[in-house]
Amino acid sequence: MKFDTPATTNPIDQLKVVGVSTSRIDGPLKTTGTAPYAYERHDVVPNQAYGYVVGAGIGKGRIASLSVAAAKAAPGVLAVVTADNAGKLGKGRLNIAKLLGGPEIDHYHQAVALVVAESFEQARAAAQLIRVEYERGEGRFDLAQAKAAMGDAADAKKEDSNVGDFAAAFAAAPVKLDETYRTPDQSHAMMEPHATVAAWEGDRLTVWTSNQMVDWTTGDLARTLGMPKEKVRLISPFVGGGFGGKLFLRADTLLAALGARAAGRPVKVALQRPLMMNNTTHRPATIQRIRIGATADGRITAIAHESWSGNLPDGKPENAVDQTRLLYAGANRLTGNRLAVLDLPEGNAMRAPGEAPGLMALEIAMDEMAERLGLDPVEFRIRNDTQVDPEKPERPFSKRQLVECLRVGAERFGWDKRNPRPGATRDGDWLVGIGMAAAFRNNLLTKSAARVRLDTRGVVTVETDMTDIGTGSYTIIAQTAAEMMGVGLDRVVVRLGDSSFPVSAGSGGQWGANNATAGVYAACVKLREAVAQRLGVNSADAQFADGQVRSGNRSVPLAQAAGGGELSAEDAIEYGDLGKRYQQSTFGGHFVEVAVDAATGETRVRRMLAVCAAGRILNPLSARSQVIGAMTMGVGAALMEELAVDTRSGFFVNHDLAGYEVPVHADIPHQEVIFLDETDPISSPMKAKGVGELGLCGVGAAVANAVYNATGVRVRDYPVTLDKLLDRLPPLA
């Protein structure tokens, strides 16, 4: 189905099932511990062996010698896989570093060997017997040092986005800001590790794994192993957290496949927690320079945002400037990302890549500029709203309710009671402050397909390779099929995460909900036509409700259409150039109250509010869950999360959940979420967008701005830890 014009009324608009708060249909499986996660797939294939990954002990260099004889001779060992015996490996389209290192080592904890044994304990013990001698190379591990070596010229580079004459406009602006902000390397730190069970049947490979993008990873695994894609099957029905870290083929999947081939039997591999930090992807650190020039009445005339981040040689920089291209008005604009080549583990997508760290800087800068102008921070943002793409004024936003989000949030949160004078509000020994930030995340349109079947019982089965990473995909897909076919949720079966199913949008980038359900919608439209044809009714007039198909005075049970045999339909949603004709984005406002201990600098978040405008909310219950989870992640980014880099040896020191701190229940206060009543008919037939990443964007800055309001201490280097506050706090009364 091609969708390239705004949607007219369709069956989804009935909102009998779609748009209704619905408990997750997979909830009983998760609460009873029976949801089949990758490493726990004991039932899928018998006689599974265990693999244990050995990671490189240097950050850059080469292997001088690698001795595996003692490991091979250890009890229970079935095989040892290294680059020497793995055979020729290709490179996946989406992978930057080699997943099996040797002799060259690209980064710390790059996999150099896999030991396969009868038990996990035997594999782990044998792995300790492998002896590796390294020749250390000269590594680049320090972003600030790499940035300094690149130079810090203010002139625009050819790859920058440059509109108008920023330099002249900034020079002429009566009020200016020029500040630098830093965000650290961060880990996805998902609870479920990267894990895979692999089994060969002749020349065919099946992997049960934890992965967000089934089709991407199936293709990359086939390319890496040098085999036809149709001979690889990937199954990933449940993912225990991903946040972008499981978008791509990783070492656990490749090594499980290689180990199974070497051992001649199925093998299961889970990455140890330290390897999840150093072996897999992470959010790269950034150094961001923001310059804003404005008139005395607060109209932005010049805005520039430049970001430096590191990655391996074939990698890309963190795209921290995109939101600045679209969020606020201003005739003269300069944005650009700079890549500093580093030999740290691969930097890649993490929840709201680009916007999350970019807004952590931009939204502090907007607060600082508002203060220089003597304007309220909410009013300053509203004053610089735009309804068109600032770089392409001929391109309107499909729907943009940023101003409404900010006004509703300010009213609900009690913004008018905020004391604008920093450090002026106390509650005993606590300094209390309120802060806010705008939220922004693009709506991406991606082709997505599904197959829908109707059986003689009137049960509708949906099959698509879409994944559920804890977001509620099973439920919103079931709601979509139920609405379209006029049945209850109890008459819908959803099967996900199998590469033998039609290719969906997958889970990532906040595009999953809208596109995947739109693909199911397209397949259901075809199935409705097939049902109408078999029943001999006019498909244009047919109404599907309560398990019946009605046309005129005639009403026929839906199941009767399958009386001559099961009916099946498959289709995909495609958008043409719709994404180019309209700028499609989601918007929000985050409001936060914090208290900072005047003696110790300890920061506690007291209240949080998110107001979101993100198209039709398909399931308010699971959407709220997504937003409060993202808000929690934002608190972590603001106050505690940081991968500490050993710039001498090139590794993340705190590579476990003891040293890498994330929020716990005691850190998170009451969280309120408001969804504006919005449909966006240009986004898809579902008129939805997404909220999973919008809920994170801006939270860090809202916390940092609240800390400033509480203490008068402006921290531009995340996380805002107490050591950055302690010696600058106002004296105790």
276 conformational bin, left if phi > 0, alpha if psi -120 to 50, beta if neither: alpha
Closest Cα to residue 406, out of 437, 433, 362, 442?
437
Distances (CA, A) of 301 to 137, 315, 663: 48, 34, 39
Query: What is the DSSP secondary-structure string of 559-622?
Result: GGGGTTS-EEEEEEEB-TTHHHHSB-EEEEEEEEEEEEETTT--EEEEEEEEEEE-BB-S-HHH
Directed axis angle between helix 355-373 and helix 699-711, to 10°?
Answer: 40
Distance, in Å, from the CA atom of 696 to the CA atom of 302, rounded to the nearest integer, reads 27
Distance, in Å, from the CA atom of 184 to the CA atom of 286, rounded to the nearest integer, reads 7
CB 236 within 8 A of CB 465: no
Distance, in Å, from the CA atom of 722 to the CA atom of 638, rounded to the nearest integer, reads 12
Distance, in Å, from the CA atom of 302 to the CA atom of 291, rounded to the nearest integer, reads 8
Distance, in Å, from the CA atom of 191 to the CA atom of 470, rounded to the nearest integer, reads 11
Q: Would you call 693 a catalytic residue per the annotation?
A: yes
Helix or strand or coil: residue 93? coil
Directed axis angle between helix 512-535 and helix 473-485, to 10°?
Answer: 30
Tokens of 22: 């619905």
Tokens of 506: 């997958």
CB 344 within 8 A of CB 650: yes
Distance, in Å, from the CA atom of 532 to the CA atom of 543, rounded to the nearest integer, reads 10
Tokens of 303: 């805005």
Alpha helices by DSSP H, 157-272: 166-172, 214-225, 251-263
Distances (CA, A) of 625 to 44, 230, 269, 405: 31, 37, 31, 19
Distance of CA 351 to the CA centre of its chain: 3
Distance, in Å, from the CA atom of 10 to the CA atom of 4, rounded to the nearest integer, reads 15
Query: What is the DSSP secondary-structure string of 218-229?
Result: HHHHHHHHTS-G
Strand partners, 400: none
Distances (CA, A) of 604 to 600, 663, 668, 669, 720: 12, 11, 8, 9, 12
Tokens of 14: 């009935």
Alpha helices by DSSP H, 374-401: 377-383
Identified catalytic residue from 192, 346, 463, 693: 693
Q: How many residues does the chain have?
A: 733
Main-chain dihedrals φ then ψ at residue 84, nearest 5 degrees: -70, -30
Distance, in Å, from the CA atom of 663 to the CA atom of 669, rounded to the nearest integer, reads 11
CB 640 within 8 A of CB 721: yes
Alpha-carbon Rg for the chain in angstroms: 27
Residues with a known catalytic role: 693
